[in-house]
Amino acid sequence: MPDVTKTATAAPDAVATPSVDPSAPVEKPEKARSLWGDAWADLRRNPYFIVSTVLIALLLLISAWPTLFTSASPTAGDLVNHFLGKPELSKVGSPEWLGYDQQGRSVYARLIHGTSASVTVGIAVTAIVTVVGGIMGMISGYFGGMIDAVLSRITDVFFGIPFLLGAMVVLQAFVERTVWVVVFALAFLGWTQITRVMRGAVITIKQADYVHAAKALGAGTTRILFRHILPNAMAPVIVVATIALGGYISAEATLSYLGLGLAAPTVSWGVDISAGVAQIRVAPHVLLWPSIMLSITVLAFIMLGEAVRNALDPKLR
């Protein structure tokens, strides 16, 4: 009988398992960024945002603490210094650096102290119109129906009034035109654009699935508005408000130039521009420096608004 040979069956190849180093750090999955996180990452790389932020921070510092930049009084004048002086690098920071005006007051001191009035008007008006216009637009867009119709017609009436002309009419009702009177006059007519932007955003957002889910879970109207709708509708409002802030500063200067806004003894760029126009041939520096400061301020806020708009709008990135 032939020998039976035993054939060894080869074992299947074992699957090689990579060795894991217990001391190696464990990589966590990258967390998805929100719209705001994505926008901030884009803003940090935007040179327009960096430049405008530095300028605005400097303006806010000057507005809050003008004595850090000059110790001279913006209202004290000496006729001996009538239209004297011209810009010299050796006199930077001194009262005579940018010369003197018709009454012998330091142009540099008035430039520094005038920042407070202009920046205060711009920020205060923007804050008021954002709150008032945002609430009206949110209510109008969310409830719709008769409420939307009434609020929309009220908005259309105010929107049809020319902004500067209406502000002039409102300011005529006040004998003393302080900073807060000008703020009220500009805010009284400036909320319409924010209302329209917020209304359009809310109409779009209220159709989202998470809003319907919140209603199905029994969330109240206030919670839905301020917890779910408002945070998602603020992006276009912030963009419009930031750009409009520079416009409000310019509007205050225009009203003061026309003699209908701020008036002496309040120190304002618009007041100085109005006084400098009559002396443009004799002492152009009285008109030149507040005009440059006003232009830089308005440009800084417009640049900031454009940078924020580009960061928050995916179509522009």
The whole-number pLDDT of residue 7 equals 45
CA atoms within 13 A on the CB side of 156: 6
Angle in degrees, 0-180, between the axes of helices 192-205 and 179-190, rounded to the nearest 10: 40
φ, ψ of residue 176 to 5 degrees: the values are: -105, 120
The answer to whether residues 174 and 260 touch, using CB atoms and an 8 Å cutoff, is no
| CA distances (Å), origin 290, targets 64, 257, 287 | 18, 12, 6
pLDDT in tens, the chain (317 residues): 444 444 444 444 444 445 555 555 555 555 556 666 777 777 888 888 999 999 999 999 999 999 888 888 888 877 777 767 666 655 666 667 788 888 888 888 899 999 999 899 999 999 999 999 999 999 999 998 899 999 999 999 998 899 989 999 999 888 888 899 999 999 999 999 999 999 999 999 988 888 889 889 888 888 898 888 988 888 889 989 988 998 999 999 999 888 888 887 888 898 888 888 888 887 888 888 899 999 999 999 999 988 888 887 655 55
Other C-beta atoms lying within 10 Å of the C-beta of residue 144 = 14
Strand partners, 100: 106
The whole-number pLDDT of residue 6 equals 45
**Of 289, 280, 283, nearest in space to 85 by CA:** 283
Q: What CATH number matches the domain at 54-316, 1.10.3720.10, 3.40.980.10, 3.30.2320.80, 1.10.150.130? A: 1.10.3720.10
Q: Which two tokens stand for residue 115?
A: 């920042």
Specify the 3-state DSSP secondary structure of 220: coil
Q: What pTM was estimated for this model as a whole?
A: 0.81
Q: Which two tokens stand for residue 272?
A: 């100085």
